[in-house]
Structure 1
Amino acid sequence: MRIGLDVGGTKTDAVALDPSGALAGRVRVPTGWGASAVIRTIVEAVALLREDAGIPADEVASIGIGIPGQVEPGTARVVHAVNLGVAELDLYDAVGASLGAPIRVENDVKAAALGASALHGGSGSMAYLNLGTGVAAGIVHNGALIRGVRGTAGEIGHISIDPNGPLCPCGQRGCIEALAGGGSLAQRWGSPGVHPVSDVFSAADAGDARARDLRAGLARAVAAAVRVLVLTVDVDVVVIGGGLTGLGAPLLADVSAELAASAAASPFLRSLRLEERIELLPSGSPAAAVGAALIGDTAGTEVVAHG
């Protein structure tokens, strides 16, 4: 059995894959805040998954952990996982012995990209565009992650597409993340709510001018991200995932319309048929945890950077 964990800002999704790659178990637990709480969350999730799926400890071949933040290549050391309240954490030292199986750690978006590719068939090239609190992408070619020289391949959230746009925490204006990131949208909307971006869409449908502007900016930024990914690495498909995919068909329709509008004036862009090369990851998909399980399967072997 291979276990994979997607450690998110609010919940941790854990799955078990049997030797054939089929899903053999899945549990979700709330994610604690801060390094100590994250460690407890990981240990608890693995214990519950083993119990739920009836997996003896000696039958776990590997454990992969997808987590926000920067993961130093070839290590289990995570830094700047700000959404978890973690400045620095070496997960090998923290949980390696207690979990009783080889572990490997990867950035959560890269893990999700690998999982989405596997669920998509595992062949050809695919970009996974994560729309959550922030915006980032992972790129997979024939089942292998493209990491780049310094592991930053796909970090497109801080490409500025509007120098007069909203201020981004990175210091630039009009970044893709500043327009399409859930955190930025919620801050700019400014109205309290459990699902502020969904509230923006509802208000836009009701005719609210400010909500319409925010919604249009989101579509414009996501469309720009799709163009960047296709024009730089020419992937077969861009799969859109992350928390904002809960918006469903309206989000996909907005982005498709924006892509079609930009292509109307460009025969070259029309030839790329970009609106036909985007998909939404199904709501509730275990892609991130599945990707973590696949990454964990390489624990103990040489890490090869493709890029």
Structure 2
Amino acid sequence: MSAVRIGVDIGGTKVDAVVLDPGGDIVARHRVPVRMGDDGVVGSARDAVSHVCDIAGVTASDAGAIGVGVPGAVTGGVVRHALNLGVTELDLSSQLSAAWGVPVHVENDVNAAAIGAWHLLGDGRTSVAYLNVGTGLAAGIILDGRLWRGARGAAGEIGHIGIDPAGPVGADGLRGGLETYASGSGVALQWGREGQAAVEVLRAAQDGDVRAREIRERLLGGVAHAARILILTLDVAHVMLGGGLTGMGAELLDGAREVIREWEEASAFLASLEIGSRLSLVPGDQPVAAIGAAMLEVDHG
């Protein structure tokens, strides 16, 4: 086993890098702003790893491999359609491996976060889902202790599931999709005020704005629907909520559980599944995607 593990989370605004000890605990963490485009993404990742290694007193070659989580579709280390990074197609694994001198495992960022959240859960359950409620909505899935990507890498893309055929048209061109209700971009889309993001909508809801409160209720319902879909289709033991909107804290978790409780009152079958008790919030101060990236090779191949 290598002395250390190194993980990198490339996001839309920053690159977050961590060094873990053999037990999986963080010994160093460093973030740098992300630069757009192929060269910018590669350079930002290299900078983040260089700095975090300096902090930890190690080198990249001290790790047997380095893991990287990144938005977009990932196949064989090649990233495609990471539009928020200005990347159309980039062989990220090859470029970073050449720079660091070790194998580089690249994974979709939500999948990497699922591994990290599962590691933090640490309760021995082998089938769990990580539901990212952030700018978009998607899930990373662990089944029988293995990351489940699906036949075409689309496992967990539940944001495209429609729950209301008469609902608003989302960014994917479909009406009433889960992502339109249960994501930051969807909340802002429903609000429809130029330059205002989900945080302004939620603040307006707290101030009593009727329309903002309706959007917030649809958000809570969307999270509940997402959990219900994951448990009914995969029967995972636990659904961990992460992403930017989990900054709502208990309001998000309790609100989703209240929607689920109403379903359970009407359905003995749903009540028997105890969906609400299977939900939890991932600690917001933990870099779950970077942790998961660091553990890609060791725990998941």
Which TM-score bucket, shorter chain as reference? over 0.9
Distance change >3 Å, CA 85–CA 218, structure 1 → 2: same
Unaligned runs of 5+ in 1: none
- Tell me which amino acid in the other structure corresponds to 1:27: H
Q: 2:175 aligns with which of 168, 173, 176?
A: 173
Write the deviation string for residues 143-202 of structure 1: whole angstroms up to 9, x where unpaired. Answer: 3112222222211110000001110222210000011121121233244668x3232222
What pairs with 1:1-307 in structure 2 (closer than 5 Å)? 1-72=4-75, 75-121=76-122, 122-191=124-193, 196-297=197-298
Asked whether the 8 Å contact 1:4–1:296 carries over to 2, the reply is: no
In 1, distance between residues paired with 2:199 and 2:252? 10
Q: How far apart are residue 296 of structure 1 and its match?
A: 4.0
Q: How far apart are residue 298 of structure 1 and its match?
A: 7.2
Q: How far apart are residue 295 of structure 1 and its match?
A: 0.9
Unaligned runs of 5+ in 2: none
Distance change >3 Å, CA 249–CA 9, structure 1 → 2: same
Bigger RCO (CA 8 Å, 6+ sep): 1
Could you state the TM-score of these two structures normalised by the residue count of structure 2? Answer: 0.93
Asked whether the 8 Å contact 1:118–1:143 carries over to 2, the reply is: no
Q: Describe the SS at the equivalent of 2:219.
A: helix
Write the deviation string for residues 233-283 of structure 1: whole angstroms up to 9, x where unpaired. Answer: 111110000111111111112111111112221111111111111001111
Could you state the TM-score of these two structures normalised by the residue count of structure 1? Answer: 0.92
In 1, distance between residues paired with 2:55 and 2:114? 26
Q: Describe the SS at the equivalent of 2:66.
A: strand
Asked whether the 8 Å contact 1:62–1:297 carries over to 2, the reply is: no
- Tell me which amino acid in the other structure corresponds to 1:106: E
- Tell me which amino acid in the other structure corresponds to 1:39: V
The number of residues matched between the two structures is 297
Percent identity for Structure 1 against Structure 2 = 48
Asked whether the 8 Å contact 2:135–2:183 carries over to 1, the reply is: yes
- Which range moves more in the overlay, 185-194 or 269-278? 185-194
Q: How far apart are residue 125 of structure 1 and its match?
A: 1.5
In 1, distance between residues paired with 2:86 and 2:255? 34
Asked whether the 8 Å contact 1:113–1:139 carries over to 2, the reply is: yes
In 1, distance between residues paired with 2:96 and 2:187? 36
- Which range moves more in the overlay, 140-149 or 79-88? 140-149
Q: Describe the SS at the equivalent of 2:245.
A: helix
